[in-house]
Chain A
Amino acid sequence: MKRDSILSLISTLIVIIVGLLIGLIVLLASDSNQAFPAFWTMISFGLRNMRNVGDVLLGATPIILTGLSVTFAFKTGLFNIGAAGQFAFGGYTAIYIGVQFLFLPPPLRIICSILGAALAGAVWGAIPGLLKAYRNVHEVITSIMTNYIGMYLLSYTIQNTIFDINRTTTTRMPDDSNLPSLGLNYIFREPLGEGYRASAVNLGIFIAIFLAILVYIILDKTKFGYELKACGFNKDAAKYAGINQNRNIVFSMMICGAIAGIGGALIYMNGTGLSMTALPLLAMEGFTGISVAFLGLTNPIGVIFSGIFVSYLFLGGARMQPFGFSLELVNIVVAVIIYFCAFVLVVKTNIGKIFPKSREGE
């Protein structure tokens, strides 16, 4: 077991280095003069001061959750490519409650927003789950469809409910509907003139980490996790063991949806004034979640670190613009990393086959 985790860690680091090197090569090929300063900015910006560190954590919050959503599904044998839609539904519901439920006292309103987001995400995740369990349709294809359906549906709904026509987004939430910063603004800040400029990092990052640990406990320590993983590893054996796999598929997709939905809530409740667009666009966080999940080697604890890493890259990547490079470079790097992660997973799952205790002659 020990050797296994060390091997995973080393191979992940190698994969990250390879991805970054390829990114550097692309930069060098584009403009060799600016490449090194730009690259240095990308890989160091997140650590330049405490505010940046806070911003890395802030950016990591939603993608840890979408990554966790994909991870949970993967462990139970499902491929949740629908995190984008579940995320958006969660976000919308949270904002709706934050804007409309002003009769609730702020703490209760925030809790309602998060729970409402979880519920909305769960409902949207249940659709591919039900279709997989009872109609035998592959969840990848149905998730793709539900992503697009959700995109148009939400665009329409926003325009007819909580619409800010000037910005073509949702209406702005009152400040007390946002997550409290819990004093983090005193830690994650940088001096600016007379005072400080603080990062908006808040309670959300704790919720994300807490949920990651919770998922780890559910999967590894409980009866429910035993059942879910059995379904994921071998659904025929799970059926043989009397596990109701159809019910588990639906449960599993609902839990994934709830996690991604909470991710949507946390991003729009982070107090930076971010609103949800009314244009029909897919939530990129859903797809970034897939990267985060595989970079974390589909381990719930690993996802915390990979989420922070990807957020770190995005924060630094955005600072390459003055050198004439676009943020898309980060996506190229991440794509390369995921591509190589596929190999790492092969090595990991085949470890038993490659170094067997004793090999049969036949």
Chain B
Amino acid sequence: MDMFYFIVQQSMVFMIPLLIVALGGMFSERSGIVNIALEGKMVMGAFTGVLFLNIFQNPENVSDQGILLLALLVAMITGMLISLFHAFASINLKANQIISGIAINMFAPAFAIYIAIFYLDGQFVPFINQFRIASVPILGDIPILGPLLFQRTYITTYIGFLILAVSTIVLYKTKFGLRLRACGEYPQAADSVGISVAKIRYAGVLISGALAGMGGLIWIVPISSRFGGSVAGYGFLALAVLIFGAWKPMRILFASFFFGIMQTIASSFTAIPFLLNLGIPAAFYSMAPYVATLLLLAFTSKNTQAPKAAGQPYDKGMR
């Protein structure tokens, strides 16, 4: 049973950032802007967030959750700022959305490492990682559910689920969500009733930047005590989660949970006796999430429908 709790707890660590970043990607793509820049936005968010912790973390009170929340805010703002470049290129200048995404993916780690080396004399930005909550008061004592969800956890896990709930409501139950989806499917329809396609798309891209930036910091906090300008391809995995999740919040949840488990197996199979005894080399466990993605996409994507207008610049003159 302990092993089971361990796997679930560990999976959360991997799943939550994927969930948040993929939901971010969802807002962008459902507004009609393909977002391959999630990786770069994560890097920027993680970088400024960690830098914030590095500067302002109080060594006397390292497990202060308040400072983590502030760092998350910093990460979100950074993500939004870098997103502005993507938005400007894809919306105002109607440039190829993949190229501007690649530019951001290239810029972010270079920028993070450049700044780190210049000001901190090393590629890595350290921070003190004491944010784990051993057990949430009261809730942690509930049998089964307690160890599953409320022990050895991070505040970010609950933020992740909160974002999921809010995203679902925003997308399906609000005026903004309706307009966002219209812009991603058939912007001409939105335009004809006086909705500004550009504004809605800006909003979509900025939300994706905020969530990706935040996701970057959420990714690094539980697994390390320093940041070195890379999120190890999680932004790309989030993109796969988004596609596998068919651009729908609840399916994204399942997709990210699946990847969370795969990653857990990859990173900690040595702690799971059954897997260790199989004698499969570590490299194959590391590969498993990517192979699984490939196979799943191969078997499911024939019929999944991307937002119809995603990737196409909206030109008023076109009919």
- Minimum CB–CB distance from A35 to chain B (whole Å) comes to 12
Given contacts A325-B118, A331-B106, A338-B102, contact A152 B243 (CB under 8 A): no
A137 within 8 Å of B by Cβ? yes
* Chain A residues within 8 Å of B286, by CB: 152, 280
How far is the CB of A218 from the nearest CB of chain B, in Å? Answer: 24
How many CB-defined contacts (below 8 Å) exist between A and B?
Answer: 128
Partner of B118, one of A149, A324, A334: A324
**Is A346 in the interface zone, CB < 8 Å from B?**
yes
* Other contacts beyond A153-B283, A328-B114: 14, CB < 8 A: A141-B293, A141-B297, A142-B294, A145-B293, A148-B233, A155-B283, A290-B102, A325-B114, A332-B110, A335-B104, A335-B107, A339-B85, A339-B103, A345-B96
Q: How far is the CA of A79 from the CA of B34 in the complex (A)?
A: 14
Number of interface residues of B (CB under 8 A): 41
State in angstroms the CA–CA spacing of A346 and B299 once bound together. 35
**Which single member of A30, A138, A291, A346 contacts B95 (CB below 8 Å)?**
A346
B103–A135 touching, CB < 8 Å: no
Secondary structure call for the A interface: helix
Q: Please give, as numbers and ranges, the residues of chain A lying within 8 Å of B107 by CB-CB distance.
A: 331-332, 335-336, 339
- Contact A343 B89, beta carbon cutoff 8 Å: yes
* 24 pairs, CB–CB < 8 Å, chain A vs chain B: A30-B118, A79-B98, A135-B298, A136-B302, A137-B297, A141-B236, A141-B240, A141-B243, A144-B233, A144-B236, A145-B240, A145-B290, A145-B297, A146-B294, A149-B287, A152-B287, A287-B106, A329-B114, A330-B110, A331-B106, A335-B104, A335-B106, A339-B104, A346-B95
Tell me whether B113 and A326 are in contact (CB under 8 A): yes
Q: Quick check: is B196 within 8 A (CB to CB) of the other chain? A: no
How distant is B14 from chain A, measured CB to nearest CB, in Å? Answer: 15
Point out the residues of chain A lying under 8 angstroms from B274, CB to CB: none
A282 to chain B, nearest CB (A): 8
Q: Digitize A50-83: 1 where CB-to-B-CB distance is under 8 Å, 0 elsewhere.
A: 0000000000000000000000000000010100
On chain B, the residues within 8 Å of A138 by CB distance are 243
Residues of chain B within 8 A of A144, CB atoms compared: 233, 236, 239-240
**Chain A min CB distance to B210 (Å):** 21
A140 within 8 A of B: yes
Report Cα–Cα, A238/B256, bound state, in Å: 38
**What residues make up the interface of B, taking CB atoms closer than 8 Å to A?**
36, 85, 89, 93-96, 98-100, 102-104, 106-107, 109-111, 113-114, 117-118, 233, 236, 239-240, 243, 281, 283-284, 286-287, 290-291, 293-294, 297-299, 301-302
- Chain B positions within 8 Å of A287 at CB level: 102, 106
* Cβ contact within 8 Å between A345 and B239: no
Across the interface, do A339 and B100 meet the contact criterion of CB distance under 8 Å? yes
Interface string of A345-358 (1 = CB under 8 A from B): 11000000000000
In the complex, chain A residues whose CB is within 8 Å of the CB of B118: 30-31, 324-326
Q: Judge whether A253 is part of the interface by a CB distance below 8 angstroms.
A: no
CB distance from B98 to the nearest CB of A (A): 6
Whether B99 lies near A341 (C-beta < 8 A) is: yes
Q: What distance in Å separates the Cβ of A323 from its nearest Cβ neighbour in chain B?
A: 11
Do the beta carbons of B294 and A342 come within 8 Å of each other? no
